Amino acid sequence: MSRTTATQIRRGLTLPVLLLVVWEVASHAGLVDPRFLPPLERLAGTAWREATEGRLLGDLAASLARDLVGFAIGTVLGLGFGTLLGVSRGAERLLGPIFHAAKQVAVLAWIPIISVWFGFAETAKIVFVALAAFIPVALNTHEGVRSASVQLVEVGRALRFSRWQIVRRIFLPSAAPAILTGVHLALIYAWLATVAAEYFMTVGPGIGGLIIAGRERFQMDLVMLGVVILGCVGFALNQGAAAVEARVLRWRGA
């Protein structure tokens, strides 16, 4: 590990560690009611109990599966739709205004509509997550494809490339940085949407269900455990996506 990387990690951990210290001191010093902010050792005990009884890993696996399935569907659809808008003037004139208007609607506002169309079960949750992932991928793919070099397109036409070859060899490689940014954002938004779907739709296995169970039983240690897990998983997904994005762009010489 380089000195620069170690310094970045140390700086990144400083604030979280300080927050944990303040949390622990405040809980034990009576600055806050431990019923609302339980000490860290109680949180650790709750995590151990939930893990040994099998509930925690089951909830985490359910949330991750829901997240990844919705993310994959939304990413594939967003990539195809964004490419279509970028390469076809007719499609952009026909579908572009609808898409640009729909993207202004807050994602949570789609929950009532999705619930009516797909119910409150697993399908509705995955559709909601897919929608959250679809928007940034489609938007960034569209912008990336539209910014492709006109000269490269003309060269492809001079070489008698087919329409698909122009898309595959010119448009998509040129749009790769923008597409990767969209996929990165989609991964983050999909995880946030997973939590929202579990919280606002039918309660079932998942970290959102864990938090709801803690709220209803007024077990703040369970609620805070769910919040900590959500933050840690979100951080891990963000870091993983950033590492993949940097590696791919470095490989292509961007």
Residue 12 has what pLDDT?
A: 67
For 172-193, how does the pLDDT look when each residue is reduced to its tens digit (9 = 90+)? 777 788 888 999 999 999 999 9
Residue 251 has what pLDDT?
A: 61
Residue 249 amino acid letter: L
Separation between Cα atoms, residue 42 and residue 221, nearest integer Å:
7
Residue 131 amino acid letter: L
Intervals of the chain under pLDDT 50: 254
Residue 222 has what pLDDT?
A: 86
- Delineate the domains of the chain, giving CATH numbers in brackets: 55-251 (1.10.3720.10)
- Dihedral sign, CA of 237, 243, 244, 245? positive
Residue 139 has what pLDDT?
A: 92
Residue 189 has what pLDDT?
A: 92
Residue 67 has what pLDDT?
A: 92
Pick the closest to residue 143 from 193, 99, 189, 188 (CA basis): 99
Residue 254 has what pLDDT?
A: 46
Residue 112 amino acid letter: P
For 24-71, how does the pLDDT look when each residue is reduced to its tens digit (9 = 90+)? 787 777 777 777 778 888 888 888 888 888 788 888 998 999 999 999
End-to-end CA distance of the chain: 24
